[in-house]
Each structure stands twice: as structure tokens, then as C-alpha cells.
Amino acid sequence: MILFETTESVVEILWDVALAFFVARLAVVYFLLNFLSALALSYLVLSAKTPVAHLVTLQNPEVLLPFLLGSAILWARILVVKCEIPRSGAFRLGVGGVALGLMVAVEAVVAWIGYEEGWWVEAAWKEAKVWAVLGGWLAWYTLIPFVLMFFERREEGEFVPVPVSEVKKEKS
């Protein structure tokens, strides 16, 4: 019977599906924590400014950027420790990539709603500084779970790659 001949591949498929759900769940939590933090920080910055020229775009994005980066690092570290995310680059990049997709989708919906409601003037779309800051923050936001691996302690028995310089010395 075919079922008994393909048991290993069925188990591998189920394992891949379980890992995908695990990555998606972690990415949604990471996204929500960062999105709500960014929303609260943006509100605080925008409410402190009395005359607001643009409703949606930041007037001084470099004021908000350090706080966004700090909150993203904090939430990524809490997520890694609390959920015991393994030290796998592909796994952590997957979490960051799915969270990036969610963040870009929400940013696009907000931009579309703002455009349809007439909140954005044409100049807001052409501000290169705002786009550069947003793009830089999104790149950093995606890579933080991966970058945290370099600051974590390695466990005993874990594979540690040998530097290329030592491999060349052994061959000679």
C-alpha cells in the first residue's frame, strides 16, 4: 500500500507545516508588539507638536527613529527569550520576513486610506527623507531577530563554524 511507503515524507510535510505555523505565530506577535509600540510613539510625537502640517507623515522622522529601533530590539529580545526561538538563521529570518510582510501590508493600507481621505498632500509622497527612514527602519526591524544571535551565548555541543583562516592552515 502506498501509505506505508511514504510515511517519512508525510511526517516531513507535517513537520514543515508545524514549523510554518510556529514561524507565522511568532511573526504575528512580533509584528503586533512593534506596530502598537510604533503607533503609541507616533501619537506621542505628533501630539507634542502643536502645528501639524501633515497628518500622517512624520515631520522629523529622525526624532522618532531611535525610539522605534529601541522598541524593536526590546520586543525581539523578549520574544526570543520568552518563546525560546532556536539559534537558526533561516528560522529567525523567516520570523522577521513574515513580520515585514505584515508591516508593509498595514503601511500600504494606511497609506491608501490616507490618500483616499485626502489627508496626504502630494508633497508628502515625495519626501525622500521620510521614505529613507521608513525603509531603514523596516530593514532593521526584519533583521533584528537574526542579529540577536550574534549576541547570545552558545550552548555546549552546538555546531560552531570554523573560520576560513584556520581551515587553510590545516590543509597546508
pLDDT per residue as tens digits for the range 63-75: 778 888 899 999 9
The pLDDT, as a whole number, for residue 29 is 95
pLDDT of residue 50: 46
Give the per-residue pLDDT at 81. Answer: 87
Q: What is residue 5's predicted lDDT score, i.e. its pLDDT?
A: 63
Residue stretches of the chain with pLDDT short of 70: 1-8, 46-62, 118-129, 154-172
Query: pTM of the entire structure?
Result: 0.72
Predicted confidence at residue 172, as pLDDT, reads 56
Q: How many angstroms separate the CA atoms of 72 and 152, rounded?
A: 17
Burial pattern 128-164, b for ≥16 Cβ within 10 A else e, equals eebeebbeebeebbbbbbbebbeeeeeeeeeeeeeee
